[in-house]
Every structure is written in C-alpha cells, then in structure tokens.
Copies of this chain bind each other. A is one copy, B any other.
C-alpha cells in the first residue's frame, strides 16, 4: 500500500474496486454479446451499469461526508477528490458498455457487427478487458506501476481503431453505409472506454507520486 485509501477512507477505496470490477465485467459482457448477437447477455450489461451508478452515488455521499470533517487533512482531501474523479470515469465506462450492448439489442436477430469486422471487435474487447483489469489490480494493490502501464495498452486500442477504419474505408468494403456507421460508432465507444481507463490511471499515478 503506497498512499491509497486507508483508515476512514478505506470504504471509499473498496467501493471503487467494486465499481472497477463491475465496469470491467460490463464491457466483457457487452463485447461477448456483440460477437455472439446475444440479447440476454446484452441486457445484463444494463443491470451491471445500474449497479455501477448506485455505487457511484455511494462514493459521492461518502466523499461529501468525509471531506467536510475537521479531521480531514490536505492529503485526505486530495485522496477524496481523486476518488470522485475515478468514480466518474468508472461510471462513464459502464455507460459506454451499455452503448455497445444497445447496438446488439437494436440489430438483433441480425448481428450488430459484420463478420468482416468481428476480429477487430474481438481484439478491442480483449484490450478493454486488459485495461479494466489493470485498474482493478492498481486500485486493489495501490500499484503505481500497473496504473502507469495503461497508456501503452491504450496505444493498442488506438491501433485497432485505425485498422477498423481502414477496413471500412477500403474500396473493397463489401457492406453498405449502415454497417460502416455501426462500426464507426462502436469503435468510438471502445476508444472512449479505453480513454476513461487511461484517465483513471493518470489520477492514481498523480495521487501516488
């Protein structure tokens, strides 16, 4: 434990860990639902997101309570402000997983992702899962090294995003405008999910440095 959430702040830290696990699970399910065109699994993402939203309110309430106490010193204030920001990013990660899940629900029983694009979204789901997994581990172990690695993992997401767009913009693109729009927006949701994860990493690194 370096300089994380301990003492009176420990419940805030453990709620963030629960949120991060749920944000990870939400995108894992959303990606699996997308690739298997599974509406039941896609629905579960909405449930997971609702849990994340509730946990976010819990973090906020605890922070508002703790930050005003006379015992809170300036380091506590920094930790609590960081907790608020991390919670906001995790909440947004849950929202983005829901956006991915909604594409599955909207197109069902047709697949939301054309077979030509499945490999990109499979790989993006794996990268997203890795990023979220490192956030969970960084929050659990207060591990600044893990948190600092998120930028490199995000490069992998950006590269997949570029390749996805190249495929859709190639003269050989066999599908129409609708499949390309779906692909572009889904790609954007994954990219933003990764950005939010990187933001969490930056907040943790600046807290611990």
Contact = CB atoms under 8 A, between A and B. Distances in A.
Contact of A168 (B74, B85, B177): B177
Interface residues of A, number: 27
B177 A165 contact: no
Contacts of A197: none
B70 A70 contact: yes
A68 B74 contact: yes
A51 to B, nearest CB: 21
A70 B68 CA distance: 8
Given A68-B73, A181-B184, 17 more contacts: A60-B81, A64-B74, A64-B81, A67-B68, A68-B74, A68-B77, A84-B84, A85-B88, A168-B181, A169-B177, A169-B178, A169-B181, A173-B177, A176-B177, A177-B180, A181-B181, A188-B188
Interface of A: 60, 63-64, 67-68, 70, 72-74, 77-78, 81, 84-85, 88, 165, 168-169, 173, 176-178, 180-181, 184-185, 188
